[in-house]
Amino acid sequence: MTDNFEEDNWQDSKDKQESLLLNLDGFEGPIDVLLNLARDQKVDLVKISILELVNQYLGFIEQAKKIKLELAADYLLMAAWLAYLKSRLLLPKEENNQDEPSGEEIAEALAFQLRRLEKIQETAELLFARPQLGQEVFARGMPEGISSSTDAQYEANLYDIILAYGDIQQRAEHSSYEIKPFNLMSMDEAAKRLSTMLGTLPKSGRNTVWATLEQFLPENLIDALMSRSAMASMFTAGLEMAKQGKLEIRQDGNFNPIYLRGKTE
């Protein structure tokens, strides 16, 4: 009986929903849409049927999907939540769980949320219907001005100061984003270079001839940082390849040249 009544009402409100859909941009999110649907029930929000409202909202989302309207995530999130609420309201009541609010409690909270928002929207209108300074009420047009020891000589308000501070902060953020990427030789690059160059070295038996690490570095390295990174990457790549059995490394003493030679299996 009740269900039928709600179904009918839901059908009736379909036209309304379509016009709602066309105005979706004018809404301030799903709660606002809910409030508008609730107003269409034309009953005091205190007596609103949340179940009916949920059906209307879900119908509204269905319609939107049907005409392939892009809906923001929060509208869909609300739909999912309302579907959950509906199931809570329709299902037989569970054992009294102290931790979780009952479906009725959630529904009441939602109704409160809607009443509160409606009231604020009403009072916002009342507020702006009042005579406003510079619109209906006016200050003296030609004030001579008075001087005072307590009045500041300088014009500045809190907003100016906060804006100035924001600017400083943003300058600081900006500069921290201006760090340029370092010019470095990557390990991959070094490994590739090393194996290519080892392949071109003259062979002596199963191995190539010995060559110093420096000989493998790119020529004309001017940038000091780049030189150091190339040296480090080449050496590390050399160690890795030695581990894989692709080359041998030799150093005759501390700070002496490092020699590499290719190995063929």
Partner 1 sequence: MSIDLDLQRKVEAILFAAKEPLTVEQIEVRLPQGTDVRAILRALKDTYETRGFTLTQSGNHWAFRTAADLSDILEHQKEEQRQLSRAAMETLAIVAYHQPVTRAEIENIRGVATSKGTLDILMEAGWVKPGRRRQVPGKPLTWITSEDFLDHFGLETIMELPGVEELKASGLLDKRPAIETIPGTPNMFEEEELTAQQEAQESENT
Quick check: 179 binds partner 1 (CB under 8 A)? no
Our CB check for partner 1 shows the closer of 67 and 152 to be 152
Q: Which of 87, 170, 196, 236 binds partner 1 (CB under 8 A)?
A: 170
Q: Which of 20, 48, 110, 198 binds partner 1 (CB under 8 A)?
A: 110
Q: Tokens 């501390």: give the residue.
A: 254
Q: Which of 70, 95, 99, 144 binds partner 1 (CB under 8 A)?
A: 144
Q: Count the residues in the chain.
A: 265
* Shortest Å distance, C-beta 153 to partner 1: 6
Quick check: 126 binds partner 1 (CB under 8 A)? yes
* Shortest Å distance, C-beta 222 to partner 1: 29
Strand partners, 250: 259
Interaction residues for partner 1, span 29-48 (CB under 8 A):
29-32
Residue from 152, 114, 108, 105 nearest 33 by CA: 114
Find the DSSP H helices in 41-148. 50-66, 73-90, 103-129
Determine contact, residues 59/17, Cβ cutoff 8 Å.
Answer: yes
Determine contact, residues 60/17, Cβ cutoff 8 Å.
Answer: yes
Quick check: 160 binds partner 1 (CB under 8 A)? yes
State which amino acid sits at residue 15: D
Which pair of tokens denotes residue 202? 């003259």
Determine contact, residues 51/32, Cβ cutoff 8 Å.
Answer: no
Q: Which of 11, 23, 87, 121 binds partner 1 (CB under 8 A)?
A: 121
**Helix, strand, or coil here: 156?**
coil
Distance of alpha carbon 215 from alpha carbon 53, whole angstroms: 79
Interaction residues for partner 1, span 65-84 (CB under 8 A):
73-74, 77-78, 81
Our CB check for partner 1 shows the closer of 144 and 219 to be 144
Our CB check for partner 1 shows the closer of 32 and 240 to be 32
* Shortest Å distance, C-beta 264 to partner 1: 37
- Identify which range of 159-167, 190-198, 228-236, 250-258 contacts partner 1 by CB under 8 A: 159-167
Interaction residues for partner 1, span 85-104 (CB under 8 A):
101
**The sheet that has 247-251: what strands, in order across it?**
211-212, 258-262, 247-251
Our CB check for partner 1 shows the closer of 133 and 224 to be 133
**Helix, strand, or coil here: 259?**
strand
Strand partners, 211: 260
Interaction residues for partner 1, span 193-222 (CB under 8 A):
none
Our CB check for partner 1 shows the closer of 20 and 230 to be 20
